[in-house]
Structure 1
């Protein structure tokens, strides 16, 4: 089947790309009186002003609002989960992996819940943080179709240079909000991202029609459920959310609640950090002997037991549900780590976001055998993912980290990917010469 996103001729942005780029530069620099701003579409100009007022960075990455575990749980309960097959059928017919566009579905807050479509485009847009779990609200990333459509509660098309964030300007997108068919409350947004074919008049008609069809399907399904079964109400206790932060620090921090608004936190001793990291990594549990080997290196269970008593007291003061159980030693509820979060971002193709989240090696001064294994695993996963699939800008940023400063293979790959006349080549060549001389 031919993709609905085949390129149409004769469609171009209302204002030239260079003029829009210059107007954007002047606005970001504080020159709001520049005459070129008058040539920018009012919808875009107003969104730029809101982005500026929200202190959105012109080259910032979107915040990751949901971890992999939070994302999976949230998606299962979200009303749009029931219409995902319909969305795929309407917007990604034929061979999805070669569709030429990426289709994203977000919630009413702008958090992307599903990102599917062309594999190559997903890989490249992943570098700018266009991945599941990222927050693409207008006040988080600036002018972009998903967030601006939610902000205005109407369908929106944003052509490349009209994006507020420079990292997003190579792409164009069309988005439309989705509403509850009865209350008209915002449920989320559907977005199509790609090249010029994603912002044709036909694209907007298709996305608008898809939104109306989705809302109709939600209503039909709701009426069917009411007819088939009595209304049930179930109450659930809110799950415990906890994160162990171990990257780039020797004194780990245990946080409960969301990353942006932790309800409580405590700094752990080096030994307690090692023990909790092992329990978070081995979720099925560990015998006293095995945990002793991973922490002390010699299965020193006599040293482990009193340390576990002290650890339980510390954890109980912050999150009683996280107090380790015995026989085997294990955590009853899941404990996320910032190290696992980086690996999850790499799995989603968000290389630039993963690198930004990588604050350094796992508990860098620890000599516990289990910690050394986790440290090496996370470091290797980051390096391999970036070498295999990251853009040259991300690779250059990685080469500037302490971890890759002396990595000749990374520097050689940067040289291969940099354009022949790039001014950055000289610095890379000089670094390679120092390493090989």
Structure 2
């Protein structure tokens, strides 16, 4: 990248900054990733005139946070790879956690003193929602290596700085656990530095993977020493390590709150037991837990029966149970909120409603993610099975009306409309007069013109024909 281009780009960025300060449209936008970061930062109400990053960790507690962090054993590797670069060309190397909190830094003493002035120091937080666009926060936000040059920072005080950062992911969970960053003055930090920082992050991830495999092998040896090798061996995060040769559980079992009883994908019940540094899943000797039966079709009050006790449900609770039944692998509060309310949803509301549901149904609803842990019987799921079988008579008997008729949830409405369309199409294509008449007694079928025409064509002596003709005249 030529210095002439950087000078021209800097002038364009300064114009954009002036527009931001006065609330006007940007005359020229920064490059795409930076423009997106600016928008996120402005939505978070970042003040471009802010002078430093906030301090969020008590100095007396930071050592405890360091000792507990999974990157602590790799600090010598990170320092060896990058700190010499920082010393030689007047830069500072920083390692943060997944929230952008600075845990370690190394570098030239003069640069360290300048970094102190902007809060690029231990215990300060560099997430986008704290300081706006910057290498650390933006790399964490977009989950990829990032170079932020001078005026690309939203905060003016950072315009003398440039930074190259890369997130570090845990190969076990797949979650980001930290970020490595090299920062310096804009004139000395070349954009190509981001490539070296990215390689360092990948090297750290490789070391984490090696350590994970070593832990797995140690756990596997202890498991193999058990007589008969009972159960399925899981890591501490729920990864399946051994004992599932068919692969029916997939790569990972959601541990949730680590309750003892778990409902597996095949419908069987297993006991989760701690084993060394992981867990064992053993077949449950207990009887099958009681099913949760839902009656959600038609215009009546939705009800659920659990442990021989029938309960009328509010519409919101019925919607939540229906969504969990339709997504057996579970949903987060954020996902449930979006499916129920769209973009206007609030996960806090969902958590409160789930708490009330669990007060009624206990361990039938697990958390992290929210999911049903008992056998499920639901009239709308039975309807799906009849549709798959293509049996119009069973379908007509099972269909008592639309799914949760009063629901305005986008996901429930989609499922309701899809079921209605499939039921109607199957009955019109293959249904007998009896099947069509049964459908005509539902709220949607009562005024269905095509269904009534079919029934009106029956012999005049058939009472269903007269009833259909009467409805057509209304």
User: What TM-score bracket applies, with the shorter chain setting the length?
Assistant: 0.3 to 0.5
Structure having the higher Rg: 2
Q: Greater share of helix residues, 1 or 2? A: 1
Say which structure, 1 or 2, has more relative contact order (CA 8 Å, 6+ apart): 1
